[in-house]
Every structure is written in C-alpha cells, then in structure tokens.
C-alpha cells in the first residue's frame, strides 16, 4: 500500500478549501478502523470555517498550522456504549491513522496533532465545543492541499528491530 510508505506529516497548506466529498471519504476511512470488540467508539467534528480553524490552532504551540488548514477533524471517543473503555485510545489511534492514509490517497496532506492524554489539551477541546462529559477528545487532524513538501517516501526500515522466534539480549 503506497500510502503507508509515502505518508508524511504535512504542516503547510495552500489556501484552498477541502471539498465536502473528500472530507466524507476521509471519515469513511476513519470509521473502517479496527476497534476493541468492534465497539467503534468514535465521533468526529469537522471544522472548515477559517475563523474557527484559527481559534483551534491555539490548542498548543505545536498546532499553529491548523490556522492555515483547509479543514480540521477533531476525533472524539464516546464513553457511552464503550464495551472496553480501557482500549479507547487504541481504537481512536487506528481511526486517526486510517484518516491520514486516506488523505494521501486523495492527494491531500494532513498531520496528527496530539490531544489525549494531555489534560490541558483535552480540556481546551471540551470547552471549545462545549462537549458533554461522555465525550473524550483524542486527536486533532489538520488537513489541506500541501504547500511545498507533500507526501514522500522516507525509508525507516531497520532490520535490527526485528527478532525472529525469540529475543536475544
Ligand atoms: C500521538 C501523536 C501526536 C502528535 N502531535 C503532533 C503535534 O502536536 N504537532 C505536530 O506538528 N506533529 C505532531 N505529530 C506528528 C509527528 O511529529 C510525526 O508523525 C513524526 O515527526 C514523524 O513524521 P511523519 O509523520 O512525517 O512520518 C504527532 C504524532 C503523533 C502520533
């Protein structure tokens, strides 16, 4: 799968909106993710309003690119209906990664901006959207058409990390 190998964090975007149809495809990919007991604990807030994107960018010093993004997706966990609550972050990581890979397929650039488990950032999202107590902010994904550096292959294969049959210390 090419997207796995060429996906990069893209942090500079053209001032071009991301089409609704593309955003839908991103969310479809996110929802195809595996989850513990197939609990699918995800909810998504799609933001495309430039003014809202600018305000969201203030979540951390490492999320400034959100202000220039064509769209952002906030990935949330819904505590209601979680059968395996201890696994919510793994489930939402898989959904986030699926979305990032579909972005590559769609010639978009995207970057995973960490929210959970940092309480300050989780509270920022909760307050920003006035979320109820059952919703757990997990990640923020800034998305857009790449300006300059887009997706490209970088070789991270490291044979020394692989251990066949056993681990020899
Ligand atoms: C849990 C998590 C949190 C991250 N948070 C940020 C962030 O706040 N700001 C940012 O610019 N990149 C963030 N990243 C992206 C990483 O910096 C990036 O994936 C890493 O440097 C590897 O580069 P690549 O994505 O191009 O392969 C985050 C990635 C993960 C998985």
Domain definitions of the chain by residue range: 2-147
Confidence band (pLDDT; 50, 70, 90) for 118? very high
CATH topology of domain 2-147: NADH Oxidase (3.40.109)
116 touches ligand 1 (CB under 6 Å): no
Helix (H, G, I), strand (E, B) or coil at 124: helix
Q: What average pLDDT does this structure show over 58-80?
A: 98
* Under 8 Å between Cβ of 109 and 13: yes
- Pocket flag, ligand 1, residue 57 (CB < 6 Å): no
12 lines ligand 1 (CB under 6 A): no
The two beta strands, 71-78 and 135-144, are: antiparallel
Please state, for a pLDDT cut of 90, what percent of the chain lies above it. 98
Cβ(63) – ligand 1 distance below 6 Å: yes
Among protein residues, the one with the nearest Cα to ligand 1's atom 13 is: 113
pLDDT tens-digit series, residues 81-107: 999 999 999 999 999 999 999 999 999
User: Ligand 1 pocket, 11 CB below 6 A?
Assistant: yes
What CA–CA distance (Å, rounded) separates 20 from 7? Answer: 22
Which has the closest alpha carbon to 107: 151, 69, 43? 151
Q: Which pTM does this prediction carry?
A: 0.98
Task: Name the token pair of 34.
Answer: 């595996």
What 3-state class would DSSP assign to 9? strand
Burial class (CB in 10 A: 0-12, 13-18, 19+), 53: buried
Residue nearest to atom 11 of ligand 1 (CA): 62
């Amino acid at each position: 799968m090419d997207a796995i190998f060429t996906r990069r964090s893209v942090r500079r975007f053209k001032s071009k909106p991301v089409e609704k149809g593309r955003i839908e495809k991103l969310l479809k990919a996110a929802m195809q993710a595996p989850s513990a007991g197939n609990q699918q604990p995800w909810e998504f807030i799609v933001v495309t309003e430039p003014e809202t994107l600018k305000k969201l960018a203030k979540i951390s010093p490492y999320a400034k690119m959100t202000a220039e993004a064509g769209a952002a997706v906030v990935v949330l966990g819904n505590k209601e209906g979680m059968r395996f609550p201890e696994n919510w972050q793994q489930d939402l990581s898989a959904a986030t990664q699926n979305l990032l890979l579909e972005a590559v397929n769609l010639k978009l650039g995207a970057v995973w901006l960490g929210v959970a488990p940092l309480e300050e950032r989780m509270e920022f999202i909760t307050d920003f959207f006035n979320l109820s107590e059952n919703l757990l902010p997990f990640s923020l994904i800034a998305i857009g058409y790449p300006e300059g550096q887009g997706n490209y292959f970088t070789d991270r294969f490291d044979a020394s990390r692989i251990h066949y049959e056993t681990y020899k210390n």
